[in-house]
Amino acid sequence: MYRSDMEIRHGAILVTDAHYNKPKGEDAFLAFVQKIQNKEIPASQLFLFGDIFDALFGGVPHTAVENQELIDAIDTLSKKIEVVYLEGNHDFRVKKFFSGNVEIFPISKQPLYAQAGSKTVCLAHGDFDAPFGYRLYTSLIRNPFVLFFLNIYDSLTAHSILRFVEKHMSVKEQCKKFTWFESFIQKRFEKLPECDIFIEGHFHQNVSFTLNGCKYINLGAFACNQRYFVVEFDKDEVSVVEKRLS
């Protein structure tokens, strides 16, 4: 858990799991960021909940090459409004690719505690408490020395790492619904973090329910139907309203 003095404001936009991949033609998220930049979509803040890119790994510079247009767009936007980036499992150690205006929180600082009016909110990509084997894998893959050798391998194999990720994502169902999801979350959060609202991505489920007085929200993936979410205040209540890119 990482406690911050961050305040989520009315009109903040929350978005997760865009899986941006321009070579595959999946570049709607770039248009989305540009619409915020041009004020076609109003936003007081932008919260990126991870897996914004199909693959963006600090330590493997080539992963930034095909993503540079979106990286630049996010950077430019961060000079106008607050941009908060919660790293995911497809985009990590990304600080080197952005200017200091983008506030980046790695998995080690998730869930991130913030304040929305009178409500305490926990924010996370969603894989911070995965089973031990997965956490060991993600720890290794984020290790600078491991990334150093992965970069050498990637360079010697005509950037096979990106091709591997693309192959994996080509067979993944971005909008698949899990009938067992609510019971899974109930077991996962037998002891909930101390917050009024818990928001995460990663699972692509687009559902919300209440667990022991805490409102749990799993954001739907932008990659599925180009949806994003807007924070709205009504007196003491905080809501997250789904919208779609038009």
Task: Answer yes or no: is pLDDT of 60 > 70.
Answer: yes
Q: Residue 145 — very low, low, confident or very high, per pLDDT cuts 50/70/90?
A: confident
Taking only the tens place, the pLDDT of each residue in 201-230 is: 999 999 999 988 899 999 999 999 899 999
Residue 137 CB partners (closer than 8 Å, separation 6+) = none
Has residue 170 got a pLDDT over 80? no
What are all long-range contacts of 70-76, with beta carbons under 8 Å and residues at least 24 apart? 70/20, 70/22, 70/27, 70/29, 70/30, 70/33, 71/97, 71/98, 73/30, 73/33, 73/34, 73/37, 74/33, 74/48, 74/98, 74/102, 75/99, 75/101, 75/102, 76/37
In this model, does residue 140 exceed pLDDT 80? no
Of 40-44, 57-61, 77-81, least confident by mean pLDDT is 57-61
Mean pLDDT of 137-151: 78
pLDDT of 173 reads 72
Please tell me the predicted confidence (pLDDT) of residue 215. 95
Band (25; pLDDT cuts 50, 70, 90): low
Rounded Cα gap, residues 237 and 84, in angstroms: 22
Tokens 């984020």 locate to: 142
Phi/psi of residue 73, nearest 5 degrees: -65, -40
Mean pLDDT of all residues in 120-132: 90
Average pLDDT over residues 68-90: 96
* Higher pLDDT pick, 129 / 103: 103
Determine the pLDDT at residue 171. 56
Please report where in the chains the tokens 């076609």 appear, as a residue: 40
* Residue ranges of domains in the chain: 2-119+132-176+220-244
If residue 231 lies in a helix (H) or strand (E), which one and from where to where? Answer: strand 227-234
How many angstroms separate the CA atoms of 99 and 36, rounded? Answer: 18
Confidence class for position 101, pLDDT limits 50, 70, 90:
very high
Contacts of residue 171, Cβ cutoff 8 Å, sequence gap at least 6: none
Average pLDDT over residues 124-152: 81
Q: 172 falls in which pLDDT band (50, 70, 90)?
A: low
Average pLDDT, integer, range 225-238 = 94
In this structure, what token pair is assigned to residue 151? 């970069």
User: Confidence class of residue 80 from pLDDT cuts 50, 70 and 90?
Assistant: very high
- Mean pLDDT for 128-154 is 79
pLDDT of residue 31: 95
pLDDT at 14 > cutoff 90: yes
pTM of the model as a whole: 0.91
